[in-house]
A and B are shown apart, each in its own frame.
Chain A
Amino acid sequence: MYTQALNARDTEAGAVEDADRVAAFQARVDAEEKIEPNDWMPEGYRKTLVRQISQHAHSEIVGMLPEGNWISRAPTLKRKAALLAKVQDEGGHGLYLYSAAETLGVSREELTEQLLSGKAKYSSIFNYPTLTWADIGAIGWLVDGAAIMNQIPLCRCSFGPYSRAMIRVCKEESFHQRQGYELLLEMVRSSEEQKEMVQDALNRWWWPSLMMFGPSDTDSQHSAQSMAWKIKRFTNDELRQKFVDATVPQAHYLGLTIPDDKLSFNEATGHWEFGEIDWDEFMRVIAGNGPCNRERLAARKKAHADGAWVREAAIAYSRKRADRREAARHAAE
């Protein structure tokens, strides 16, 4: 999902932790109690969460770029307002998530630094370009749709701040998903030319959307531990299947063809079976070689560098103000 690069194992050996505390922690998780920031937690749990929440936050921030690419060219004022509001929501999600990560003892500055240095990952989906207006609808429908599949179970995540952030995020994502679908519905009904534009968008976004769920279960090294900690509730493949089952009928309703020759409905299981994902492409994009990886990172770096003097000014001003207050207090005493 937005955290699909969690398939790498921690390289450092875990510190030895008190077995009783670990057992007590696990008992609380098993009893569906929420773990709060000041509670004791295993170091691995904390690290996994910091990584997952920050990857999620970074994805929201980088995700503003492909959609932001169309704000200035939205075809109507209504669509322009909706897109602005949506991208603004993504920024808001990033803000919540950085705050949730901060409760685990890592600052937003550190996390930003990790993103800009390329050390931290974000969802590979945002390394694909938005070429036509239909891509804005496709992102809402498919990308937000896939995000919801993953994030609804995260509302029950064992870590309190993350689960609470997800409840609000999910409400907004679900609105975005419907908005994206409605945008496409309007297009396919308006003209054949627009319908072709929508089909082209689906052709380009379908497979990258399936990749959002991360590696298949056989290759996902973190799944079992995350499931035991109730950070994760379903495996990557389970979530991917749910997404395909929900989305294929929606594509058909739009009169579109899913770009997969192997797609077929299995009457016995009630599931849509689909072809093999191009895992080479997935690995390549995660490793930094997608169509827009360099552009996205360059855009974030430029915004950060161009804004440095503004942030410095804000800090300088707030220091001056505090100093003046302090001086005034001394003078009064």
Chain B
Amino acid sequence: MTSDLFTYTLRLADDAAILGQRLGEWCGHAPTLEEDIGLANVALDHIGQARNLYSYAGEVEGAGRDEDQLCFLRKEREFGNCLLVEQPNGDFAQTIARQLFFSAFMLPFWRKLTGSRDETLAAIAAKAEKEAAYHLRHSGEWTIRLGDGTAESRARMQDAIDLLWPYTGELFEVDGVVERLVADGIAVDPETIRDEWHATLRRVCDEATLTLPPVGWMQSGGRSGRHSESFGHLLSEMQYMQRAYPGMRW
């Protein structure tokens, strides 16, 4: 039981940490000053969520690992984040599409998780829900602006949606861990979110004059530690200090 809760919490923490890491790469390089600030803000929210979730995962595990040991001292195959969040930033449209797909899922996800029998997860979810609402608004508005903007921006936004679409299937994957925790009233059954998620995307894409691809073939592997080739590079950069200077206080 403890190990299911640990795995589940850790996957959520990894999702938040890795997306925060990717978003942080934009800082100072965004298309406008407002977006430098906006994307940094979204990154910060995810880093904050990751801290709470890793701390709780460490507590659940009971082996004395803290948030930093869990984030900076695990290896490629031990990370359980979905593949979507680790996808490289690409152009601004790809960053926005990644955020739209993720936040459209996470908003109802966190809302449902506030009803979890696990009080800590419920409390983390209550805070994260407010943040996800902002992230969805931000990415949704940009999707509409880019989709209904110029011919170039429309083409780029459609390409981004098509490119990242196969990574959305993983958001709905259910394995034994999720099944058992759903049965215990601790986890969210992602299937209960699908309709809302799809409706949100359809509404945004309709207004943006964009087309959502058919469901089709989906990528998989992140939850069991099979990541993209780019993921190792992300980790080697993110974990550099803790690897180069082990056991020090910062």
| B91 partner, pick from A73, A95, A306, beta carbons under 8 A | A306
B35 CB, nearest partner CB in chain A, Å: 8
Residues of chain B lying within 8 A (CB to CB) of residue A306? 29, 31, 91-92
On whether the beta carbons of A84 and B153 are closer than 8 Å, the reply is no
Give residues 228-250 of B contacting A (CB, 8 Å): 237-238, 240-242, 245, 248-250
On whether the beta carbons of B24 and A71 are closer than 8 Å, the reply is yes
Docked CA distance A257–B168 (Å) = 55
On whether the beta carbons of B238 and A72 are closer than 8 Å, the reply is yes
Residues of chain B lying within 8 A (CB to CB) of residue A308? 31
| A186 partner, pick from B47, B148, B249, beta carbons under 8 A | B249
Answer yes or no: A161 CB below 8 A from chain B CBs.
Answer: no
B246 CB, nearest partner CB in chain A, Å: 11
Give residues 44-83 of A contacting B (CB, 8 Å): 61, 64-65, 68, 71-81
A177 CB, nearest partner CB in chain B, Å: 18
On whether the beta carbons of A307 and B47 are closer than 8 Å, the reply is no
| One of A9-17, A189-197, A239-247 contacting the partner | A189-197
| One of A18-26, A210-218, A226-234, A312-320 contacting the partner | A312-320
Given A78-B51, A317-B145: A311 and B32 within 8 A (CB)? yes
Residues of chain B lying within 8 A (CB to CB) of residue A72? 21, 24-25, 237-238
On whether the beta carbons of B33 and A316 are closer than 8 Å, the reply is no
Answer yes or no: B191 CB below 8 A from chain A CBs.
Answer: no
Answer yes or no: B40 CB below 8 A from chain A CBs.
Answer: yes
On whether the beta carbons of A91 and B37 are closer than 8 Å, the reply is yes
Answer yes or no: B221 CB below 8 A from chain A CBs.
Answer: no
A325 CB, nearest partner CB in chain B, Å: 14
On whether the beta carbons of B146 and A313 are closer than 8 Å, the reply is yes
On whether the beta carbons of A77 and B238 are closer than 8 Å, the reply is no
| A95 partner, pick from B20, B37, B48, beta carbons under 8 A | B37
Given A72-B237, A73-B241: A65 and B31 within 8 A (CB)? no
Docked CA distance A193–B249 (Å) = 12
Of chain B, the residue at the smallest CB distance from A315 is: B149
On whether the beta carbons of B33 and A91 are closer than 8 Å, the reply is yes
B54 CB, nearest partner CB in chain A, Å: 7
Of chain B, the residue at the smallest CB distance from A69 is: B28
On whether the beta carbons of A193 and B245 are closer than 8 Å, the reply is yes
Answer yes or no: A310 CB below 8 A from chain B CBs.
Answer: yes
Answer yes or no: A94 CB below 8 A from chain B CBs.
Answer: yes
Other A-B contacts than A73-B241, A87-B40, A194-B248, 17 sampled, CB-CB below 8 A, are A72-B238, A73-B237, A77-B50, A81-B48, A88-B27, A91-B36, A91-B40, A95-B33, A186-B249, A193-B245, A299-B29, A303-B29, A309-B156, A310-B31, A311-B32, A316-B153, A317-B149
24 pairs across A/B with beta carbons < 8 Å? A71-B24, A71-B25, A72-B238, A73-B237, A75-B72, A76-B67, A77-B47, A77-B67, A77-B68, A87-B28, A95-B33, A183-B250, A194-B245, A299-B28, A302-B29, A307-B31, A307-B32, A310-B35, A312-B150, A312-B153, A313-B145, A313-B146, A314-B32, A317-B144
